[in-house]
Structure formats: structure tokens, C-alpha cells
Amino acid sequence: MSTQTDLDILSINTIRTLSMDAVQKANSGHPGAPMGLAPVAYCLWQRFLRYDPEDPIWPNRDRFVLSAGHASMLLYSLLHLAAVKQVDEKYQVRDELAVSIDQIKNFRQLESRTPGHPEYRWTSGVETTTGPLGQGAAVSVGMAIAGRWLAEHFNRPGFDLFDYNVYALAGDGCMMEGISSEAASLAGHLKLSNLCWVYDNNRISIDGPTTLAFTENVAARFKAYRWNVLQVKDANDLEALAEALDAFKAANDRPTFIVVDSHIAYGAPSKQDSADAHGAPLGEDEIRGAKRNYGWPEDEHFLVPGGVREHFAAGIGARGGVLRDKWMERFAAYKEQYPELAEQLELMQRRRLPVGWDSEIPDFEPDPKGIATRASSGKVLNAIAKNVPWLMGGAADLTPSTKTLLTFEEAAGDFQADDYRPRNLRFGVREHAMGAIVNGLSHCKIRPYGSTFLVFSDYMRPSIRLAALMEIPIIYIFTHDSIGVGEDGPTHQPVEQLAALRAIPGLVVIRPADANEVAEAWRVIMQFHHQPAALALSRQNLPTLDRSKYASADGVQRGGYVLADAGVGEPDVILIASGSEVALCVEAHQQLTAEGIRTRLVSMPSWELFDGQDEGYRDSVLPPSVRARVAVEQGVKTGWDKYVGPTGATLGMETFGASAPLTDVQEHFGFTVDRVVGAAKAQLAAAG
């Protein structure tokens, strides 16, 4: 280890001791992985990572993802020692550390920037929220895809604005989770040579030795994925680690997978070299023993020896500062020569939209036969994407069904290893990985969408939940939104999925009733900065309502609106519906009105948007004095009671669906005009 210096050893041991002290003080956490991986992370950050601690949102920075999020103190120690600055919500770098020594002392405590697992938007320098194993690794694939597309879109001769690399540090748990396999398979197919995963092969999990459940040849698996696979036999060997990372940088035809053998705990054989060290504090006696082993003052806590911070400043700090300054100089010249592209990049970085982004959104003419909302969504998507060049995405092998293909010349074609310019991504049958990959795209300020059938949102729910937790504006396009799928049967008919998505805090779910509600839904969600949104769209045609007879579709912006009313004064009964059931309720409204029953019809495409309105507006749509109410939706009834009240009725699903033609399925489950009318009359009778 000829390249290892005393300052290297001192810095590595500082990372280790900060980690063990923080876990011990919190009496909670995972000390083993940070201690075992300290040399790996140190080598990467101090010698290789192109990252400016003074500007942690520099667009061309290398990305470091700690997929093994339980090792969070490893990252927090690095952020502190490298003096990474905090960035505020206005993208301004503040003159304060993202992770101070006091924050480390408050590890896992309320309101600290050092939560148990790293959280994006909470602590600058954390590139994505990790915790569920495998997620970070999969997100890194999205970051690498973004890097390749950004380079193709923005780079010009003499102006290489984007050439960053993406590093993910993953453990055995990440390798066991299926999401990492899905993502790695796609990364290998796309030949993402800007992507490097470092695998901590420590052979320990919470249950005990990995041999209890995990004996496959991981290296061979990644060779089969067409990755460049390297081996480092000792995590403490800085020279071998540096050679492997140099080999990654030299590879230009595939991603790199570095297998690093490590011992959990403090890097030397001990009784603590066990699963206990993985998930529990070491205890004061063990900590003293570890510090003694490092030649460390045994009774010192949270010690950063003199020279360590200066060492990081002279390494990653100086290197990153120079690279960032040169990039800014290059970008200033780029703005002179390519002002339109420079403006695009600046808009992207602030998650803003270009002027005229919605100018080509179509208006749909009234049509009783109508169009499926998945089809109208495809038209709107293409109209918007023409004017938002960084809007890109795809489907999990369902592009023809979800109508998500960008067909105009500037975006057409498929993003593939031989052409990174197109904006159509082919995720394959990999819903789980798709969810994480679009998160990675968003972290790099691309505006991404991912699509599949609504019933398969279950496969990507963990990634959707994390998008909501991270407050990033992902667009999910879910089609085949109800039992209207018909013959495909209950395996493909979503019943509980709308309720499940609505249960995720921060996710906006919109189920439009016709083509013009689709257009308005897109107009709403494109303006989100910190909210993911899910569109639930129909397979079957839905009538396009005549908006000269019915209220304007711009009511979608408020989540729920009065589509048709009884005239002057309060109604006798209110019908509430979303999606395809609005057309059903239109017919019921007409019949009830013809019978002299004062009926209000409310289209409720989005609970979240409606609940966000002021009380006065909500009461104007659903007057508290009108207790006779009927909600209609082809899904479980969960949640509708807050709109129909304690005495109202909800016509929904109480079982799974059935395999039969559409009209037969709807008749079988009671989604008919007669049943809606009957329910409305029953409500009137009960209300007296």
C-alpha cells in the first residue's frame, strides 16, 4: 500500500470514530458498515469524486449514492469532513455546513439533518433518499441515463458540459432485492459506462451470515448483465481500490461493478465481527477497544484531529473547486454561443417551464362516442413535449397500450446504447426499476414520466412512496384504470389501487372524466415543483362532454367542481364521480332532472387537489346542508365517506372484478344508470 499516508489512515479512522460515537450517543443505528467501508468511501471521495463542497448542486458533479442507507453515518461523516455547504429551497448555497459536528451529535434525533437513513432535500450532499435496500442502486441508473442524455442534448464541440460519473455503494441486501437486478440488467443493456457500483461483500445480514439465504455468485451475475466486473480483496487496500476506480474510468463500453471484500465492524477480527455490529451500537467497552486499536484517545468523543479537515479541503475540496470554476467559465462562453440551450439548462436547474410550454395543448370537440383518456393523454403529452425538451420517459413494455410514445421528429426513436439522443425510454417489463430510475432522472432535473397499467402500480409502489417523500415532480401515467378492462379479468382490473395511491402523502392522483379533463390535468401537473402526480386513465372510450352545456374542464385545477347543476338554489341530491363513472352519472343526472329532482353532478378527478382548496370553495361544491349524496367509482369505497358524509351512499367495488366483456362486467357489478338513479332516490327518501 505504497500510496497510503498517515493522513489517509487518520482520515479513515476519523470517519470510523465519528460513526461509532454517533451511533452510541443515539443508542440506535448501524455502526458496522460505516466502519468497514470507511476506506472505500474515503478513497472514492478524496481521490476520485469530482464534487465541489462549496456548490453541491453544480450540474456536472459526480453523483455518490449510498444505496446501503443504513450506513448513513458514513455519508454524514464524509459530508462533515469535506465541509459540504447547505443549499436552501431557493437553490442558494448558504454559508453553513450541511452536516456540522452538532448535527452528527444529534444523529437520529428529531429535526436533525442526520436522520437514520439519508433523506434528499433534508441534507445537502444527499443525492437521493435511501433506506429500502436496492432503491439507491436503481436510482443511480436513472442518474447515469440522465448523464448520457444531457451530454447528447447540450454538449457541443469545445463545450463538454456533461461528462459526470455516478457511483453507488451497495451491500448484500441491495444485491438480494429484485429492484437492483432489474436496474442492473437495463444498465448493462444501455452500456452506461458512466456508472459504477461498489459492492460491499461483507457476508453479514441482520439474520446472520448471508450463507443462510444468499449463496449465488454475484460477480458472475453481473458479468451476465454485461458489466465490467472487478475484485478488491481487502477494503483497507487503498492502492487496490484506486486501481479498480481507475479501471472504471478507463472503461467506455459498459458499467462497472467492483466487488470489495470487507469485514463489518472495525476492520480487524474481533468478537464484534457479527450481525450485532450491523444493527446495534457497539457499547462503550467495544468502542474503547476499537479506538485503542486505531491508536485513538479512548475517552475522546466526536474527535476530528487537526489536519483532517485541511486534508479533505486539499483533496476533494480543491479538485472540485477547480473543476466547478472551469465549468462555470465554460458555461459563460456557452451562453454566448448557444443562448437557447443555455436557457433550457438554467430553466431545468430551477424546475421551471419555458414560455409557451402549453401553447399546443389541444381542445377536444364534443363527441358522444369520445376517446379513451389514455389516447387523449398521448396527444397532450406529445403537444407538451414539443415545447419542453427535457420531458422524457417511457413505459414498462406497454408503450402501445399506454400511448406514451413521443412521435415528433426531435424526440422520436428509442434511447439506446448506440443513440442516447431520443427521449423514448424502453424500460422492459421492469416496473419496480422504472419507478426508481425515473426518480434518478428527476434528481438530474429531467422531467420524467413512467407508465404501466394501474394494477401494476403495486409493483412500483416503494419508488412512488419515495418520490413523494423526496418531493420530486415525477409523472406516473397509469392506464386501464378500472374493471372497464373487461375480458382481461381480475388480475388486470384495478380495484384497490386508486385507494392505495391516494393513501400516499404528497402524491396527487388525478382520474379525468374526458379528453378535456385530461388536457387540464396535464396543465396542472406540469407546473408542480415538489409533488409527484399519478394519472389514472381509461382503456375504453369516454364521451367528450359538450362544455357549452357543462362546466369548463378547468375545474380540474381545483380537484372537484360542479359539472352540472339543478339551477338556482341548493340541490336535492348530489352525485359525485371520477373518471369513466362521470359519463354514467351524466345520464343519471339527466334522468333525475327530467323527473323534477334537483340534482347536482360533481366531477371529482382529484381528492388531493380538492382537499387543498379553502373551506368556502369546498362547501360551495358540496354544501354541508345537502346530506343526500351518492359517490360512484369503480374501485373500493375506501375514503369516499369524507365526501358523501355519514349518511351518504357510495357505489363501488367490494370484491375483485371478473373476466367478461366490458358491458357485462359493468352490469354484473351494478354500474348502471338505473342503480345510480335508485341510490339517489333512496338518499332523498332517507333525508326526509
Strand 204-205 with 208-209, pairing: antiparallel
Cα gap 186→435, rounded to integer Å:
13
Q: Is residue 498 part of a domain?
A: yes
Are both 466 and 570 inside the same structural domain? no
Question: Would the pLDDT of 577 be above 80?
Answer: yes
Are both 526 and 649 inside the same structural domain? no
Q: Is residue 360 part of a domain?
A: no
Please list the helix, strand and coil fractions of the chain in percent, rounded to the nearest 5, in that order.
45, 15, 40
Q: How many CB atoms lie within 10 A of CB 7?
A: 17
Residue partners of 112: CB distance under 8 A and separation at least 6: 103, 106
Cα gap 479→451, rounded to integer Å:
8
Q: What is residue 140's three-state secondary structure?
A: helix
Cα gap 441→467, rounded to integer Å:
11
End position of a domain, from candidates 511, 543, 575: 543
What does DSSP assign to residue 363?
A: P
Cα gap 663→104, rounded to integer Å:
61
Q: What is the mean pLDDT of residues 189-201?
A: 97
**Predicted pLDDT of residue 276:** 40
Question: Would the pLDDT of 50 be above 70?
Answer: yes
End position of a domain, from candidates 324, 347, 379: 324
Are both 572 and 601 inside the same structural domain? yes
Q: Is residue 431 part of a domain?
A: yes
Cα gap 507→471, rounded to integer Å:
9
Are both 574 and 466 inside the same structural domain? no
CB of 406 closer than 8 Å to CB of 388: no
Mean pLDDT of the chain: 95
Are both 20 and 91 inside the same structural domain? yes
CB of 280 closer than 8 Å to CB of 264: no
End position of a domain, from candidates 515, 543, 571: 543
CB of 297 closer than 8 Å to CB of 17: no
Are both 65 and 102 inside the same structural domain? yes
Are both 562 and 502 inside the same structural domain? no
**Burial of 450 per CB tally in 10 Å (0-12, 13-18, 19+):** buried
Band the pLDDT of 279: cuts 50, 70, 90. Answer: low
Q: What is the pLDDT of residues 284-301, one digit of tens each?
A: 999 999 999 999 999 999
Q: What is the mean pLDDT of residues 27-49?
A: 95
Residue partners of 186: CB distance under 8 A and separation at least 6: 141, 427, 428, 430, 433, 437
Are both 142 and 170 inside the same structural domain? yes
Q: Is residue 632 part of a domain?
A: yes
Distances from the Cα of 324 to the Cα of 56, 208, 623, 658, angstroms: 10, 44, 58, 59
Q: Is residue 272 part of a domain?
A: yes
Q: What is the pLDDT of residues 539-570, one digit of tens each?
A: 999 999 999 999 999 999 999 999 999 888 89
Predicted TM-score of the model (pTM): 0.96
Q: Which residues of 28-58 are buried (b: 16+ CB within 10 A; e: fewer)?
A: ebbbbbbbbbbbbbbbbbbbbbbbbbebbeb
Question: Would the pLDDT of 270 be above 80?
Answer: no
69-83, 283-297, 425-439: which has the minimum mean pLDDT? 283-297
Cα gap 579→480, rounded to integer Å:
11
Point out the residues that are catalytic. 431
Q: What is the pLDDT of residues 381-420, one digit of tens each?
A: 999 999 999 999 999 999 999 999 999 999 999 999 999 9
Among residues 183, 217, 185, 179, the alpha carbon closest in space to that of 201 is found at 217
Q: How many CB atoms lie within 10 A of CB 492?
A: 18
The three-point CA angle 368-373-374 to 5° equals: 140
Q: What is the pLDDT of residues 338-386, one digit of tens each?
A: 999 999 999 999 999 999 999 999 999 999 999 999 999 999 999 999 9
| Residue 579's CATH number | 3.40.50.920
Q: Is residue 551 part of a domain?
A: no
Q: Is residue 509 part of a domain?
A: yes
**Predicted pLDDT of residue 269:** 33
Are both 318 and 383 inside the same structural domain? no
| Residue 65's CATH number | 3.40.50.970
Band the pLDDT of 264: cuts 50, 70, 90. Answer: low
The three-point CA angle 352-355-361 to 5° equals: 100
Q: What is the pLDDT of residues 496-526, one digit of tens each?
A: 999 999 999 999 999 999 999 999 999 999 9
Instruction: For the chain, give the number of residues.
Output: 688
Bridge partners of 159?
Answer: 156
Question: Would the pLDDT of 44 be above 50?
Answer: yes
> For residue 258, what is the enclosing H or E element?
strand 256-261
Q: Is residue 186 part of a domain?
A: yes
Bridge partners of 167?
Answer: 64, 196
Are both 281 and 399 inside the same structural domain? no
Q: What is residue 367's three-state secondary structure?
A: strand
Q: Domain of 601?
A: 557-687
Q: What is the phi/psi pair of residue 454, to 5°?
A: -55, -35
Are both 171 and 277 inside the same structural domain? yes
Are both 466 and 532 inside the same structural domain? yes
Band the pLDDT of 277: cuts 50, 70, 90. Answer: very low
Q: What is residue 232's three-state secondary structure?
A: strand
CB of 457 closer than 8 Å to CB of 430: no
282-296, 412-426, 440-454: which has the minimum mean pLDDT? 282-296
Among residues 20, 60, 64, the alpha carbon closest in space to that of 45 is found at 64
Cα gap 30→264, rounded to integer Å:
10
Round to the nearest angstrom and report the end-to-end CA distance of the chain: 88
Q: What is residue 222's three-state secondary structure?
A: helix
Cα gap 571→625, rounded to integer Å:
10
Give how many domains the chain has, as a whole number: 3
Task: Read off the C-alpha cell for 553.
Answer: 374542464
234: left (phi over 0), alpha (psi -120 to 50) or beta: beta
Q: What is the mean pLDDT of residues 444-465?
A: 98
Cα gap 180→170, rounded to integer Å:
10
Residue partners of 620: CB distance under 8 A and separation at least 6: none
Cα gap 623→151, rounded to integer Å:
54
Cα gap 531→255, rounded to integer Å:
31
Question: Would the pLDDT of 595 be above 60?
Answer: yes
**Predicted pLDDT of residue 271:** 35
